[in-house]
Amino acid sequence: MADFFNVFWDYYISVITLLSIAGCGLLLYSQSMHRVKVAADGKPADHGTTGHVWDGDLTELNTPMPRWWMWLFYITIVFALIYLALYPGLGSYAGQLGWKSSGQYQAELKKAEADYGPLFDKYAQQDLKAVAADPQAHAIGERLFLTYCAQCHGSDARGNKGFPNLTDNDWLYGGDPATIKTTILHGRNGQMPPMGAALGSDKDVEAVAHYVRSLSDLTTDPIKVAFGKPKFAACAACHGADGHGNQALGAPNLSDKVWLYGGSVDTITETINKGRNNRMPAFDEFLGEKKVHLLAAYVWSLSNQPAVQGAPK
């Protein structure tokens, strides 16, 4: 990649860009030299054809381009040259105005901080549950969620295959306000290792899959459940002997009928054999703690019913 930062590419891009504009100008000029012959009656004379004929009698005439269109093209060429002189577009040349997209972005960030910073500061000092009960804070949190979280968890926050539902009371790491905020700030990396080899044969894996389904009272083969129960001991280190999971590890509860990838025998078997690797990105550097505080309050409110301030009693 370092080769693309060589000064050669600055000249290469600049020359190609300027030659392309000059080529357009020369082509337009060459076409502008063609004059329209006028007949005695003042109307354009016959210009002949291009030689292209379709369906026997549809002929393409060799008619010159309108003058107004040519002048409009000339104007676009002049505009392109002025633009390239004022703004970056020729390699590393910064332009006379010194404009940068990163500079504009930073300016917009400073303006937004000046406009909304005091509002974020106010809510950052409040308890997260109190923020969740504030209608204005709830609306801000909802917009943050729709912008940054809906792509994975859905606009209704009910999740999708591999992405948790945030509107129920099933939490991999815990659903209290502080834990939700920690999850958003620092992200999570949940990994289940492949366990097929540890359990034994394919039949053993299938038996464990049936046993796991039995923990949620789903339809199973009783014989396979009986064989799978002792084999489940290899999974108990994370999910617990009763399959109730471990939030400290992010190991899901297998007895609550809530499935991140699906609860069919085939899906559970696939999970056991291949493992799973899920990653929730961290938003601390991207959003900052103050915005995450509002976002966490909104996420917490999705599975709780805080008393909204100003609501009729």
The CATH number of the domain holding residue 142 is: 1.10.760.10
Name which residue leads in pLDDT, 8 or 265: 265
| Residue 252 and residue 195 share a domain | yes
Domain encompassing residue 9: 2-34+47-86
pLDDT at 312: 39
Assess if residue 98 is contained within a domain: no
DSSP structural state of residue 57 = T
Residue 275 structure tokens: 């493992």
Assess if residue 249 is contained within a domain: yes
Residue 306: pLDDT over 90: no
Name which residue leads in pLDDT, 91 or 144: 144
Name which residue leads in pLDDT, 45 or 217: 217
Q: 306's torsion region: left (phi>0), alpha (psi -120 to 50) or beta?
A: beta
Q: Calculate mean pLDDT across residues 200-206.
A: 94
Assess if residue 293 is contained within a domain: yes
| Residue 232 and residue 201 share a domain | yes
| Residue 298 and residue 287 share a domain | yes
Residues of the chain above pLDDT 90, percent: 67
| Residue 144 and residue 28 share a domain | no
Assess if residue 95 is contained within a domain: no
| Residue 123 and residue 80 share a domain | no
What rounded mean pLDDT belongs to the chain?
Answer: 88
pLDDT at 311: 46
Query: How many domains, the chain?
Result: 3
pTM for the model stands at: 0.70
pLDDT (tens digit per residue) in 145-158:
999 999 999 999 99
pLDDT at 313: 34
Assess if residue 209 is contained within a domain: yes
Diameter of the chain measured on Cα atoms: 106
Strand partners, 278: 190
pLDDT at 8: 84
Residues of the chain above pLDDT 70, percent: 90
Burial class of 190 by CB neighbour count within 10 A (0 to 12, 13 to 18, 19+): middle
pLDDT (tens digit per residue) in 267-302:
999 999 999 999 999 999 999 999 999 999 999 999
Assess if residue 153 is contained within a domain: yes
